[in-house]
Structure 1
Amino acid sequence: MADKASTLILFGATGDLAARMLLPSLYGLDLDSLLPDRLRIIATARTEQDDAAFREHVLKALGDHVPADYLDQDKAAAFAQRVHYVPLDATHPQGFKALADAVGPDAGEIAIFLSTAPSLFKPTIDGLASVGLAGDHVRLALEKPLGTDLASSTEINDAVASAFPESATFRIDHYLGKETVQNLLALRFANVIFEPLWNARAIDHVQITVAETIGLEGRGGYYDPSGAIRDMVQNHMLQLLALVAMEPPASFDATAIRDEKVKVLRSLRPITRDSVEQSLVLGQFGSGAVDGQPVPAYAEELGKPSETETFVALKAHLENWRWAGVPFYLRTGKRMPERRTEIVIQFKGVPHSMFSGKGAQARPNRLLISIQPEENIELKLMAKVPGLDRHGIRLREVDMEIGQKDVFSDVRRRIAYERLLLDLIEGDPTLFVRRDEVEAQWAWVDGVRQAWKEAGMTPKSYTAGTWGPSAAIALAERNGVSWND
């Protein structure tokens, strides 16, 4: 384990992510005495203000985003006193000296969280290096997006590598900080009952859904050039797929886990011009209603016509021994009927049912791993309905359910960023993404995008508040699969 950082620098400290996630997460860690006692937090952004003004901003962010029953005003005020502010415009290299002066010459281990526009990554890294805030004693966390394709991602990674070694580079995918995502590893590798069945012999297919009810939320400038496949599939969904499909790592450490994930990502079968129309559905939401409220179409919300996809459904395959022939169905979209992130492991049916002669039907088992909004694991099993069975045996599907909030009611549910920030401070890269993972993800997504352009595919319209275009249903039903709606 690396030495704990004694200085944490937050870039983009006046932004939305800092207010909603980073500052509340640091407050939570401080409240539970998990931050090093000597840790200094230095916030920086372009806004000109002093420590006192920024501390007022901190207290407002905590008041807005920390549950009332968890917010202790005195402790929040004490936390705010740990935070110092340095105004800095990353496009002005001379401003980095003030940041270095605030850090001081004897800062020890330094952790930097970079939550800025990708266009500012290189000037920020250059500025940090110019004043000695890089090197063996500094680790750097980068918030997505890390590029818009493989070429731009490589450019960003090269810029990072010029000042920070890979061992000190922490690429963030906040899904990896979620408890249920981490619990997927425990489910698979701490229970002997699942691993013998976790393969093509017993599993029919896998579904991964990331559904959002929101539209653009004022982020049109970022979202429209990106679209759903680059915003969600390239990072979050492929990371979930890798965790589902990876081989058992030798140990719970960063190298072993990330080695196995990258093998999965490299085994993704390319989607080509010849296969894309049978493997992919694109959609863009039209007007409709979500949660009973009317919402405008994407182009109306954006303010101009666009061919950007707000919905993607695709069928992926892994070309390896464990998963040969098992389709992975991935689906993500905006303006869906409900907010939901889940993984469905659909097992095959029993090879022969001894109950069919008695009028009973056995359904295949299904494992449902819910990630948000509620964290839950549910296994569907067949059971006999109680009774004397004079007219045939009756079977019913029953649920074995592990609700995190019920089973672990004595443990506070944490924001994903609490785990990630603490791991950054302590120097543990296990739940961060390595460069070869990012580039394998981009290589596959770039191939998918190229294939749909060559095929002349454009998004199909779907009504806001529905599960996407009807073609997404057909994509699965061609193989006898129904989405878990």
Structure 2
Amino acid sequence: MPKEITTLLTFFGGTGDLAKRKLYPSTYNLFKKGFLQEHFAIIGTARQELTTDEFRELVRTSIADFIEDQANAEEFISHFYYIQLDITDQAGYANMLSLNNELDAKYSLKGNRIFYMSVAPRFFGTVAKYLKSENLLTENGEFNRLMIEKPFGSSYDTAEALQNELSEAFDENQIYRIDHYLGKEMVQNIAAVRFGNPLFDAAWNKDYIENIQVTLSEVLGVEERAGYYDTAGALRDMIQNHTMQVIGWLAMEKPASFTDKEIRAAKNAAFNSLKIYNTPEEVAANFVRGQYGESADGSQKKYLDELDVPADSQNNTYVAGKLQFDMPRWEGVPFYIRSGKRLAAKSTRVDVVFKKGLNIFGEGVSLDNPVLSILIDPKGGIEFKINAKDITSSFATRTIDLDWQVSDEDKAVTPEPYERMIHDAMNGDGSNFADWNGVGTAWRFVDAIQAAWDAKKESFPNYVSGSMGPVAADELLAKDGNEWIFKG
């Protein structure tokens, strides 16, 4: 039986879409697996006027597809409570404190508390301040922890202001910044593949790797998100957070031990060595932006014709760029990244391109770069393309693929990212959460790029919906004698 976790978990934004789709099913899975047993309680809070019974019915509906034993589900639901709260009203927190203390006594929760903010980011600092000033943070428990959703700011300055607000109430080791990509099974496989195999562990450096590529491509357009997306773009929406966090696992030094403290230290050593492009010339040489136009057959409209998109929008729906790390391990090794909407295929993947090495086979025999590919979405897997002998009468070579894919059976029992994130926070494991140094570095990096782009008008659209992005993205790699591994 798994070790039981004792905690009071409070969801701010407890009637919202994320809570209903992800958070309650995730906590129910933790209950079914035995991580939550008797000594836990869950509070949902929002401005909506609901009774606890009505709230429990909302929870019952949200977990309906995951129920295998109704009695088991009802036991889980009985641990849920609701309190109506305007999170900007300081006086309302007294009622929450009263309920917290009541549940602490009823379920013997030992003062352990986790506060999950599924609310608009502008309220993060307000809630943190009142949690401290109104004495909801306990001094007698093992932990008080804060879980927050992205986006963490919209620039370095706003992120730093938010960090300062949170730091008034919580220490850095109490703050768990969620990036659900870090909860994905195949992202977590990066560490297993890299550090668990001496072949890759020894070769994970400039001596053997020619370049590393990270692709996060989407086939969908902006859909109904223009209100947010037109102020963010692919750079802020996908590069600053998801892409940079994946890069952290790829570029980091080997940690002294596989603990959250050592993992974060190793990642930060890499983030701190990231070259920031501070001039327009550096940005132009290393980054490409794009905005989708119509599809070739005219069935998909261009970004500028989407609902609520300004007709003169300079927003980027595609970004490709080259990252460079000023550290001995990666001297001269480019990290290529790209993310965009309305591309040819949906795929999140890492391609590690190894050097060809010395060809001893003579003229007429060619070797390709071995490539290790970690496939994250939509179907997980690992591929290793290597050189092997071709079936011919004379000696020749060909590439073959060593291929493994996550089975349907494995997929069925793989924890969803939010389940894993909540479980890790309950255990105090920050390995798969973003820390302030990494977030701050990512913001400084993208702010410099955005500033250069804001100062120069681009001719949009510059790629066809259904393609793999602007031609300039291919040219970016071609300048270095490289090409994208994934063609779409």
Shared topology, TM-score over 0.5? yes
Q: Which deviations, in whole Å up to 9, do the C-alpha atoms of 1:428-473 show, x marking residues without a partner?
A: 2222121111111111111222233345456543222221222212
Is 1:296 the equivalent of 2:301?
yes
Is 1:211 the counterpart of 2:213 in the alignment?
A: no
Any idea what the Cα deviations from partners look like across 1:35-63, whole Å, max 9, x if unmatched?
24211011112221122222222233234
Distance 1:418 1:3 in 2: 15
2:371 aligned with 1:366, yes or no? yes
CA distance in 2, matches of 1:374, 1:433: 25
**Distance in 2 (alpha carbons) for counterparts of 1:294 and 1:93:** 52
The worse-fitting range, judged by mean Cα deviation, of 254-263 and 470-479 is: 470-479
Correspondence list, 1:15-54, <5 A: 15-54=16-55
**Could you say which structure has the greater relative contact order, defined with CA pairs below 8 angstroms and 6 or more residues apart?**
1
Q: Structure 2 vs 1, CA of residues 296 and 18 (structure 1 numbering), >3 Å: closer, same or farther? A: farther
What SS does structure 1 have at the residue aligned with 2:319? strand
**Hey, what's the Cα distance between the residues in 2 that align with 1:217 and 1:81?**
38
Distance 2:34 2:220 in 1: 35
Whole-angstrom CA distance in 2 between matches of 1:230 and 1:410: 30
- Which residue among 97, 102, 123 is the counterpart of 1:100? 97
Measure how far apart 1:426 and its partner are: 2.0
- What CA distance in whole angstroms lies between the structure 1 residues aligned with 2:344 and 2:21? 24
Matching residue of 2:267: 261
- CA displacement, residues 272-304 of structure 1 (integer Å, 9 cap, x when unaligned): 312222211111223338xx9944332332423
Paired letter, 2:82: Y
Looking at structure 1, the residues matched to 81 and 69 of structure 2 have their Cα atoms a distance apart, in angstroms, of 21
Q: Which amino acid aligns with 1:383?
A: A
Q: Deviations over 1:93-121 (max 9, x none)?
A: 22222222221264510011111111111
Q: Are residues 1:399 and 2:401 paired?
A: yes
Provide the C-alpha distance between the structure 1 equivalents of 2:145 and 2:16, rounded to a whole number of angstroms.
21
Specify the alignment match of 2:79 in structure 1. Answer: 82
| Residue-by-residue CA offset, 1:296-345 (whole Å, 9 max, x unaligned) | 33233242322211111111111111111111111001222222110000
Residue 384 of structure 1 corresponds to 389
Aligned to 1:344: 351
| 2:257 aligns with one of 248, 251, 272 | 251
Q: Which amino acid aligns with 2:85?
A: L
- Where do 1:48-447 residues align within 5 Å? 48-63=49-64, 66=65, 72-104=69-101, 106=104, 107=109, 108-134=111-137, 136=139, 137-271=143-277, 272-288=279-295, 294-303=299-308, 304-305=310-311, 306-354=313-361, 356-357=362-363, 359-386=364-391, 389-390=392-393, 392-405=394-407, 409=410, 412-447=413-448
- Please report the TM-score for the alignment, with normalisation by the length of structure 1: 0.91
What is the aligned residue count?
Answer: 472
TM-superposed CA distance for 1:238, in Å, is: 0.8
Q: Could you tell me which amino acid in structure 1 is paired with residue 22 of structure 2?
A: M
Give the counterpart letter for 1:97 in structure 2. A
Q: Matched residues in 1 for 2:456 and 2:222: separation? A: 27
Cα distance between partner residues in 1 of 2:240 and 2:472: 22
Q: Distance in 1 between matches of 2:367 and 2:262?
A: 39
Distance of aligned partners of 1:345 and 1:125 in 2 relative to their CA distance in 1, 3 Å threshold: same
- Structure 1 counterpart of 2:396, which letter? R
Which AA in structure 2 matches 1:332?
S
In structure 2, relative to structure 1, the CA distance for the partners of 1:415 and 1:3 (3 Å cut) is closer
Contact 2:302/2:461 (CA < 8 Å) preserved in 1? no
Instruction: Give the match's secondary structure for 1:27.
Output: helix
Which range is displaced more, 322-331 or 35-44?
35-44
Give the secondary-structure state (helix, strand or coil) at the position aligned to 1:322. helix
Deviation at 1:259, TM superposition (A): 0.8
- 1:445 match: secondary structure: helix
Q: Give the secondary structure class of the aligned counterpart of 2:199.
A: coil
Return the letter of the residue paired with 2:122.
S
* Deviating more after overlay: 158-167 vs 334-343: 334-343
Amino acid at match of 1:433: A
Which whole-Å CA distance do the structure 2 matches of 1:77 and 1:333 have between them? 43
**Partner SS state of residue 184, structure 1:** helix
SS of aligned partner of 2:38? coil
Which whole-Å CA distance do the structure 2 matches of 1:46 and 1:353 have between them?
72
Aligned to 1:56, the other structure's residue is in SS state helix
Conserved 8 A contact 1:283-1:469: yes
The 1:145/1:39 distance shift into structure 2, 3 A limit, reads: same
Q: Counterpart of 1:204 in 2: which secondary structure?
A: strand
Tell me the SS of whatever aligns to 1:84. strand
Return the letter of the residue paired with 2:228: Y
Q: Give unpaired runs (5+ residues) of structure 1.
A: none
TM-score (norm 2): 0.91
Amino acid aligned to 1:470: V
Preserved CA contact (<8 Å) 1:206 1:328:
yes
Superposition RMSD in Å? 2.3
Cα distance, 1:74–1:4 mapped onto 2, change above 3 Å: closer
1:229 aligned partner, one-letter code: L
